[in-house]
Chains A and B, each alone.
Chain A
Amino acid sequence: MRYSGFRVIAEALTGHRGWKPVWRDPAPEGEYDYVIVGGGGHGLATAYYLAGEFRQSRIAVLEKGYLGGGNVGRNTTIIRSNYMLDGNEPFYEFSMKLWEGLEQDLNYNAMVSQRGILNLIHSDAQRDAFTRRGNAMILNGADAELLDREQVRAMYPWLNFDNARFPIKGGLAQRRGGTVRHDAVAWGYARAADLRGVDLIQNCEVTGMRIEGGRIRGVETTRGFIGAKKVGVAVAGSSSKVMAHAGMRLPIESHVLQAFVSEGLKPLIDGVMTFGAGHFYVSQSDKGGLVFGGDIDGYNSYAQRGNLPVIEDVAEGGMALMPAIGRARLLRTWGGIMDMSMDGSPIIDKTHVDGLYFNGGWCYGGFKATPASGWCFAHLLAKDEPHKTATAYRFDRFLKGLMIDEKGQGAQPNLH
């Protein structure tokens, strides 16, 4: 069924009796050409592009819970392509371009809203660094704009410009950045992949991998063995657990990142704003809630919930930047599990097992990467070679000294 304004009117006039389930609920077949492990944003996008742009068939997505129940449903919905390094920026700009055409492509309202993102500047050194980053973005075809203090004041006059520790001196804006309705990304990709014949199999956890003679034969699951010529794993958060079935240790630690939403408020912030120096970023949802977050908790965790000290730290950052929110009440907090990699950048690569491919290590930046991650992973699965924007996301970059470390923190995952 194609969605359109006409369809909505037609259904309204006939009592909404024509809507159908958005995707099938098939039982797994004995064998597929491609099995994608992980029914989140990245896995569903991979299956969608594999079945369409790369013209492959007999594809299944295996999800241990329900579709979109992991990090794609737990993030703060921000999209941007404001990276600096050559290994990253072309990839994220490719992702941004896919976001811009996503809703027409999927025939699904994902509420892509290019409301702009602003990174605040508090010192001369930070202005130099952001100028350099903005130039790197422009060189890679993205948009960037350096704003002075008065331009920021015109956008958000109620910010605390004269904070003693972090006075606001300007900002780096990317007008094409913004937010997307995160669940709708999972649902949109799931529906579109299903329409292309992909089997979406839920409640199907991978419990083992069958590897014979260095080649993948399929996966053991809670719904029985499923054979596959190629297996792609896109389970960020649980990557180490799943890849351990193939005997692999990854350059990844799992960490918990918390996010927060306030009660609904009148329109206050029309874009996305980051206060990196104070470990705080914020946007406002269409329902009015302030959606905000800060740093990861900083220790290994699979708990999908964090601890109170980070909540206090994030709230302090928010109060320092925008004292006006002091009486707003916190509505909800939640946590998601991040694949924190050793250089803060992801991995999309083959493994030592023929036919087994890996996509993970997204740190806390996986949501914005969803379309390009799916596209590049599908490219790798179909053609056995990396997409041109993802050539740097290799496992062996740590061995060869080719790290993509935007922050320059070294092999310390909780600092990225």
Chain B
Amino acid sequence: MIFNHPILGPRDAQEFVYLGDASLMRRPDGMTAGIEAFHDWLYNRDNPAGEHRELWYHEQGDRSWLVVTRNTVTHEVIRVELARDVAKAMGRTK
């Protein structure tokens, strides 16, 4: 699989480490959310057959986190974004 890195251009997926579903970026607020919300966030997954947004870390590259939209049935890479940009679009400051 080749990821079209927004800064570095096309890079082999072997340079990256996989973390999992990009929903992990939406960690509940530790001060207000209950244990059930944290349980759902940490342990449960949609695990779709088809389009999946997921976090990859460019360990053997520029150490950036990417949000890759990929088809889990065909392994086609549909879209690659910097996780930082995705987080900012979600309203986070960094």
Which chain B positions have C-beta within 8 A of A252? 45, 47
Tell me the B residues contacting A by CB distance below 8 Å: 1, 13-14, 18-21, 35-36, 39-40, 42-49, 52, 54, 70, 72-75
Q: Does A56 have its Cβ within 8 Å of any Cβ on chain B?
A: no
Any B CB within 8 A of the CB of A250: yes
Contacts of A251 in B (CB 8 A): 43-45
Query: Min CB distance, A344 to chain B, in Å?
Result: 13
Instruction: Check A302–B72 contact: CB distance below 8 A.
Output: yes
- List of A residues within 8 angstroms of B36 by Cβ: 399
Is A38's beta carbon under 8 Å from chain B?
A: no
Q: Which of A250, A299, A342 contacts B54, CB < 8 Å?
A: A299
Nearest chain-A residue to B46 (Cβ)?
A249
CB pair B44–A250 under 8 Å, yes or no, is yes
Number of A residues, CB within 8 Å of B: 24
Docked complex Cα distance between A302 and B71 (Å): 9
> Are A299's CB and B39's CB within 8 A?
no
Who on chain B is nearest to A299 by CB? B18
The CA of A122 and the CA of B40, in the complex, are separated in Å by: 39
Interface residues of A in 15-54 (CB under 8 A from B): none
Residues of A within 8 A of B39 (CB): 398-399
B72 x A254 contact (CB < 8 A): yes
Asked if B52 contacts A300 (CB within 8 A), the reply is: yes
Q: Which residue of A lies closest to B47 (CB)?
A: A240
Taking the nearest CB of chain A, how far is it from the CB of B46, in angstroms? 6
Report the bound CA distance from A340 to B86 in whole Å: 27
Q: Of A254, A303, A414, which contacts B47 at CB under 8 A?
A: A254
8 A/B residue pairs, CB under 8 Å, sorted by A: A240-B45, A249-B45, A251-B43, A251-B45, A302-B72, A307-B1, A307-B13, A398-B42
